[in-house]
Structure 1
């Protein structure tokens, strides 16, 4: 898969670990920033990654901030994005299977690197089930 990743300054420490892990799994990754730990605003990076995913340039995205909440809210403002913030693998898996999420977010102040890897792996390996869930996605898109 071709994946976009972004963070704010708080998520910067965890981001290289996730990039390396994604590459180990055989994925192509583009880092949308930031590249320094200078204080920055998460909406900028949530928007950049979300726009790239919504445009179809990437198969999905991963966003990291302190909690994952703010950056996921920012991403969800972009039409066509279904970003989910997860702190455990089960919700990540079901978010893809039932909600066809295209961006995964988590918080570097909430989870550690090994749990983050488990969450990413479950999300990447899951597939949208369609069926009864497809109609619900259409309903979400109409909101």
Structure 2
């Protein structure tokens, strides 16, 4: 599975730890996208957009975004039409993000979640998969319908 990982100025160190962790997992390929191609400092909205656009373009299957709390990255990623991002702070929320919500992206807070817990969260999320015929399929379709409804307004 191809994974993109990025962090803002507060989350970059956690992003680096997670890059090494995910790269060591069987079947995973990781790209670190924290730094802008032109080297300038970016806000978390710009970083989230870069990762989400790459996921939508098929370059990556999933993404992991880190900032201070995970909140700003989640809000930013969810502004990108077609992306479902979930702020995760424990292994249960990570599992449900994948299994119940088909989340393309998880976000973590470097000031909230320790590195060992972050590794566990990411491992659980990567091992969990959405069942398009399962009980949550209708909820995910409703999210997509809602997104389409408001996409035309923007």
1:116 corresponds to which residue? Answer: 118
Larger radius of gyration: 2
- State yes or no: 1:73 paired with 2:75: yes
TM-score, with length taken from structure 1: 0.93
Q: Does 1:10 align with 2:16?
A: no
- Which residue pairs with 1:95 in the alignment? 97
Q: Write the distance in 1 (CA, Å) between the matches of 2:120 and 2:91.
A: 6
The equivalent of 2:20 in structure 1 is: 20
Q: CA deviation at 1:34?
A: 2.3
Shift in Å, 1:7: 1.0
Q: Secondary structure at the match of 2:69?
A: coil
Question: Could you give the per-residue CA deviations for residues 92-122 of structure 1, whole angstroms, max 9, x where no partner exists?
Answer: 0011111111101100000111000000011
In the other structure, the counterpart of 1:31 is: 32
**CA contact under 8 A between 1:96 and 1:127: conserved in structure 2?**
yes
Q: Deviations over 1:40-90 (max 9, x none)?
A: 411110110011112222110000000011011111111111100111111
- Residue pair 1:2, 1:29 contacting (<8 A) in 2 also: yes
Which ranges of structure 1 fall in alignment gaps of 5 or more residues? none
* Mapped partners of 1:86, 1:94: distance in 2: 10
TM-score normalised over the length of structure 2: 0.87
- Alpha-carbon distance, 1:39 to partner: 6.0
Does the 8 Å contact 1:93/1:122 carry over to 2? yes
